[in-house]
């Protein structure tokens, strides 16, 4: 008569596990424990907390050393099964099992003469290897590779599955990938593709791990038996079992993402999309993973996004969201897939907006799971690339803006970065969004984040501020400027991270753009900001930083006489210095964008109607600018060519006639 949960409390059971003296009593207690925890996360946690794992492991270890008066095999099987169950799907369980020293004992079961014992040991180890916490297997040691090969060559399918799981868990670097493929593992895994269900699945996962960003292994695989191995994987995408179909798709996606020339055929691409869509209907983990696989298939690939759009993927994903509460993992995957779809194609964005699911995305911004919140922000960022819909005010409302601002306080950095991305897009060009955002106190929060220790947060915060100041009227700019302060802005220009420097300079560029008063910002507090820009131009090496810096100077040089002279001072810091001016260096740059920015500055500095133009023309000519410009008269970049001509004309007009 099996004992039920209510007759014996957990403490009692653990007591019997450790105190039972004879094999039979131990076995009974072990089975009882095993049957209570299998499938039951709550029970696993409570038994782990009560310290059941070490008791089980000590039964295992004494049975390994032969104890058990005729029960030893059963004790091995039952204790290994209980350990495996503790490790199944619960990281705390894996940790407890490893801490209790179960690993070497389980490993010794693999060479046990009894098949059932081998099965139980291999299953438990596989469970452990499914967790991130499992110890890393060192493939680079010869005896380890031999042991791995012996596992894969085993007749027992649990043991071969274990071999494949070890690869999936532990193979990370390209050196390890190479070692595995040199040792003939690929061939072994290919042969397992024709094996049982569990062997096929395990092999597909291991193959995908070896293929990841490893074109060599892929060519080797694709060349195997003139493409038969690849065909076998393609065939498995039609398998009866959903998980097998999913793993085959993931394997093909890895091949394609690493080696885009394979699987170019439209048929197979569409097929992958359709299979993944169908797998989304699976209520379990397969459905969750399918959403992520879809995202990795279409991310940054416009051809696939187009195909997905034609296959109605937007509608289907939205239907999943509409159907009611979706599990967090799946919700995240679907939002990310939608984000990928909308990242490039306006057709997808319009479709998404017309399906009226935006309120669901807005709700996702306050989801319990940080991953879902971040995914919702990324999705909004993609959708808000639609200038047409943003202008029409189609989706930005106060609720959305307020929620986005609240997310700036989020405890998760990845959410903060994602929400900054969304805000950057939403505030870029549209008066209504900007005012709502400013009224709701968004600027203060952005300024706070621009001082974050995390450089990704910092760069995104400054980016958002930059977009916020784009084409804004001067009153609003002033508000932003006061909040930001001169000292913060100049320290952002001097940030040690070039990407932050770039965004900070772009922010200044936007600040000083537009009406003539706005140029004054860089002259505040003894021209602190202007000097910061000048200093950065002298020392920075990244083209993007220099481009933004030069545009700041161009914008300032479009101002009054005093402004132009200040720019001259930044370009030629020491009077009479014979060293080459930075502006020459920029005019000679390989980057046409930097050349454009530099010529613009020259054009603004030599604008004829201003009184000091003559003096500047002389100074620029002496610095060799004119001869440099003459060399650029046929610049391959049309924009540069055009500005160079304007500049040269101005030299003639304002100059002494010696051009």
Partner 1 sequence: MSLFWFVIRQLEEIEAMATSKKVITREEWEKKLNDVKIRKEDMNKLVMNFLVTEGYVDAAEKFRMESGTEPDIDLATITDRMAVKKAVQCGNVEDAIEKVNDLNPEILDTNPQLFFHLQQQRLIELIRNGKVEEALEFAQEELAPRGEENQSFLEELERTVALLAFEDVTNCPVGELLDISQRLKTASEVNAAILTSQSHEKDPKLPSLLKMLIWAQNQLDEKAAYPRINDLATATLEDPSV
Residue 85 beta carbon to partner 1: minimum distance, rounded to whole angstroms: 6
Binding window for partner 1 (CB under 8 A); candidates: 16-24, 196-204, 212-220, 416-424: 196-204
* Residue 7 lies near partner 1 (rule: CB under 8 A): no
Query: Mind giving me the DSSP string for 589-605?
Result: -S-HHHHHHHHHHHHHH
Between CA 508 and CA 529 the distance in angstroms is 8
- DSSP 8-class letter at 4: P
How far, rounded to the nearest angstrom, does the alpha carbon of residue 33 sit from its chain's CA centroid? 41
- Give, as ranges, the residues between 391 and 450 that touch partner 1 (CB under 8 A): none
Q: Please list every residue from 541 through 600 that binds partner 1, using CB under 8 A.
A: none
- DSSP 8-state symbol, 3: P
Report the 10 Å Cβ neighbour count for 70. Answer: 8
169 binds partner 1 (CB under 8 A): no
278 close to 246: Cβ distance less than 8 angstroms: no
Nearer to partner 1, 85 or 499 (CB): 85
Q: What angle in degrees, to the nearest 10, is found between the helix axes of 592-605 and 561-571?
A: 130
Instruction: By CB under 8 A, tell whether 121 contacts partner 1.
Output: no
Could you say which of 84, 287, 549, 559 contacts partner 1 (CB under 8 A)?
Answer: 84
> Does residue 41 belong to the site contacting partner 1 (CB under 8 A)?
yes
Nearer to partner 1, 325 or 657 (CB): 325
Assess 198 for contact with partner 1 (CB under 8 A).
yes
User: Which structure tokens are listed for 84?
Assistant: 């495996």
The residue among 60 and 457 lying less far from partner 1, judged by its C-beta, is 60
Which of these segments, 35-43, 355-363, 411-419, 466-474, binds partner 1 (CB under 8 A)?
35-43
Strand, coil or helix: what is 9? coil
- Torsion sign (Cα): 109, 114, 115, 119: negative
66 vs 325, which CB is nearer to partner 1? 325
- Rounded to the nearest whole angstrom, what is the least distance from the CB of residue 112 to partner 1 in the complex? 17
Q: Which is nearer to partner 1, 123 or 616 (CB)?
A: 123
145 is written with which tokens?
């590779």
Of 86 and 211, the one with the shorter C-beta distance to partner 1 is 86
Q: How far is CA 467 from CA 132, 239, 507, in A?
A: 40, 49, 8
* Cβ atoms of residues 52 and 14 within 8 Å: yes
Q: How far is the CB of 308 from partner 1 (least distance, A)?
A: 28
Within residues 129-158, the interface with partner 1 by CB under 8 A covers: 157
88 counts as binding partner 1 under rule CB under 8 A: yes
Least separation, in Å, of the C-beta of 393 and partner 1?
Answer: 35
Residue 270, interface with partner 1 (CB under 8 A)? no
Radius of gyration of the chain (CA): 33
The single residue among 10, 15, 89, 498 that binds partner 1, judged by CB under 8 A, is 89
Q: How far apart are CA 581 and CA 171, in angstroms?
A: 52
Residue from 113, 283, 611, 636 that binds partner 1 (CB under 8 A)? 283
CB of 168: closest distance to partner 1 in angstroms?
A: 16
| Count of Cβ atoms closer than 10 Å to residue 12 Cβ | 12
Phi-psi category of 190—alpha, beta or left, where left has phi over 0 and alpha has psi -120 to 50?
alpha
327 forms part of the interface with partner 1 (CB under 8 A): yes
Given a contact cutoff of 8 angstroms between Cβ atoms, the answer to whether 64 and 109 are in contact is yes
User: Quick check: 5 binds partner 1 (CB under 8 A)?
Assistant: yes
Are 604 and 552 spatial neighbours (Cβ–Cβ below 8 Å)?
Answer: no
Tokens 């070692």, residue located = 179
In 3-state terms, what secondary structure has residue 637?
coil
Scan residues 234-263 and list those touching partner 1 (CB under 8 A): 240-241
Report if residue 539 touches partner 1, rule: CB under 8 A: no
The span from the CA of 629 to the CA of 645, in Å, is: 8
Distance of closest approach, residue 638 Cβ to partner 1, in angstroms = 59
38 is a site residue for partner 1 (CB under 8 A): yes
Among 55, 72, 79, 85, binds partner 1 (CB under 8 A): 85
Q: Identify the three-state secondary structure at position 301.
A: coil
| Residue 21 dihedral angles phi and psi, to the nearest 5° | -100, -35
Cβ(102)–Cβ(57) under 8 Å? yes
Residue 337 CB, shortest distance to partner 1, in Å, is 21
- How far apart are CB 422 and partner 1 at their closest, in Å? 28
Segment contacting partner 1 by CB under 8 A, of 4-12, 339-347, 439-447, 503-511: 4-12
Closest CB to partner 1 among residues 196, 354: 196
- Select the residue interacting with partner 1 from 140, 175, 197, 391 (CB under 8 A): 197
Nearer to partner 1, 282 or 483 (CB): 282
- Nearer Cβ to partner 1, position 85 or 332? 85
Query: Smallest distance, Å, CB 282 to partner 1?
Result: 11
- Does the protein bind partner 1 through residue 2 (CB under 8 A)? yes
Block residue for tokens 């424990």 = 33
> Per rule CB under 8 A, is residue 39 in the interface with partner 1?
yes
DSSP, res 317: H
| Residue choice 31, 316, 531, 619 for contact with partner 1 (CB under 8 A) | 31
Could you say whether residue 369 binds partner 1 (CB under 8 A)?
A: no
Phi, psi for 597 (deg, rounded to 5): -60, -40
CB atoms within 10 A of CB 548: 28
Nearer to partner 1, 89 or 514 (CB): 89
Q: State the Cα angle at 470 between 376 and 437, rounded to 5°.
A: 45
Question: Is 163 a binder of partner 1 (CB under 8 A)?
Answer: no
Count of residues engaged in binding partner 1, rule: CB under 8 A:
31
Distance CA 48, CA 46 (A): 5
| 85/606 with CB nearer partner 1 | 85
Out of 51, 215, 284, 615, which residue is the one contacting partner 1 (CB under 8 A)?
Answer: 284
Contact 55, 33 (CB under 8 A): no
User: Based on the number of CB atoms within 10 Å of its own CB, is 10 exposed (0-12), middle (13-18) or buried (19 or more)?
Assistant: middle
- Measured from the CB atom, the residue of 9 and 615 that comes closer to partner 1 is 9
Q: Interacting stretch for partner 1, rule CB under 8 A, among 28-36, 167-175, 447-455, 590-598?
A: 28-36
DSSP label at residue 106: H
Dist CA 570 CA 588 (whole Å): 19
**Contact residues for partner 1, defined by CB under 8 A:** 2, 4-6, 31, 34-35, 38-42, 81, 84-85, 88-89, 123, 127, 157, 196-199, 240-241, 283-284, 324-325, 327
């Amino acid at each position: 008569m099996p004992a039920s949960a209510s007759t014996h409390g957990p403490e009692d059971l653990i007591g019997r596990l450790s105190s039972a003296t004879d094999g039979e009593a131990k076995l009974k207690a072990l089975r009882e424990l095993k049957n209570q925890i299998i499938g039951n996360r709550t029970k696993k946690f409570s038994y782990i907390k009560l310290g059941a794992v070490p008791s089980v492991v000590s039964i295992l270890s004494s049975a390994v050393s032969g104890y058990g008066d005729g029960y030893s095999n059963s004790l091995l099987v039952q204790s290994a099964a209980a350990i495996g169950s503790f490790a199944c799907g619960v990281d705390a369980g894996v940790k407890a099992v490893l801490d209790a020293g179960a690993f070497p004992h389980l490993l010794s079961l693999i060479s046990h003469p009894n098949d059932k014992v081998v099965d139980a040991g291999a299953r438990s180890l596989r469970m452990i290897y499914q967790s991130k916490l499992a110890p890393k297997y060192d493939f680079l040691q010869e005896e380890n590779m031999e042991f791995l090969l012996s596992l894969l060559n085993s007749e027992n399918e649990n043991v071969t599955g274990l071999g494949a799981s070890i690869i999936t868990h532990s193979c990370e670097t390209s050196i390890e990938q190479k070692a595995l493929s040199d040792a003939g593992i690929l061939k072994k895994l290919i042969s397992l593709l024709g094996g049982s269900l569990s062997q096929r699945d395990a092999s597909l996962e291991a193959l995908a791990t070896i293929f990841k960003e490893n074109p060599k292994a892929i060519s080797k695989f694709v060349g195997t038996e003139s493409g038969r191995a690849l065909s076998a994987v393609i065939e498995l995408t039609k398998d009866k079992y959903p998980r097998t179909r999913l793993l085959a798709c993931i394997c093909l996606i890895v091949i394609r993402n690493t080696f885009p020339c394979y699987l170019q055929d439209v048929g197979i691409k569409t097929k992958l999309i359709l299979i993944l869509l169908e797998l989304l209907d699976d209520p379990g983990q397969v459905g969750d993973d399918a959403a992520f696989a879809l995202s990795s298939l279409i991310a940054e690939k416009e051809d696939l996004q187009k195909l997905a759009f034609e296959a109605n993927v937007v509608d289907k994903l939205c239907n999943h969201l509409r159907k009611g509460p979706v599990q967090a993992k799946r919700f995240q995957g679907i939002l990310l897939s939608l984000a990928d779809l909308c990242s490039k194609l306006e057709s997808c964005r319009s479709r998404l907006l017309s399906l009226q699911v935006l309120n669901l995305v807005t709700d996702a911004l306050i989801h319990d799971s940080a991953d879902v919140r971040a995914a919702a922000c990324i999705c909004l960022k993609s959708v808000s690339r639609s200038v047409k819909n943003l202008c029409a005010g189609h989706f930005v409302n106060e609720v959305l803006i307020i929620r986005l601002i609240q997310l700036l306080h989020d405890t998760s950095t990845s959410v903060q970065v994602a929400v900054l991305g969304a805000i950057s897009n939403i505030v870029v060009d549209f008066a209504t969004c900007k005012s709502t955002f400013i009224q709701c106190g968004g600027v203060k929060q952005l300024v706070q984040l621009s001082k974050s220790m995390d450089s990704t947060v910092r760069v995104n915060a400054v980016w958002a501020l930059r977009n916020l100041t784009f084409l804004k009227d001067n009153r609003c700019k002033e508000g932003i400027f006061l909040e930001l302060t001169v000292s913060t802005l100049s320290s952002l220009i001097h940030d040690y991270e070039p990407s932050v420097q770039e965004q900070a300079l772009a922010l200044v560029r936007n600040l000083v753009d537009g009406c003539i008063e706005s140029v004054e910002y860089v002259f505040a507090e003894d021209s602190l900001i202007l000097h910061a820009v000048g200093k950065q131009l002298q020392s920075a090496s990244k083209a993007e930083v220099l481009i933004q810096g030069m545009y700041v100077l161009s914008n300032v040089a479009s101002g009054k006489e005093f402004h132009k002279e200040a720019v001259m001072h930044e370009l030629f810091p020491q009077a009479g210095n014979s060293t080459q001016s930075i502006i020459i260096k920029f005019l000679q740059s390989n980057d046409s964008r930097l050349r454009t920015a530099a010529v613009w500055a020259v054009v603004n500095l030599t604008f004829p109607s201003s009184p000091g133009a003559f003096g500047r023309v002389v100074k620029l000519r002496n610095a060799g600018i004119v001869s440099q410009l003459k060399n650029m008269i046929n610049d391959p970049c049309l924009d540069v060519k055009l500005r160079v001509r304007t500049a040269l004309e101005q030299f003639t007009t304002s100059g002494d006639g010696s051009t």
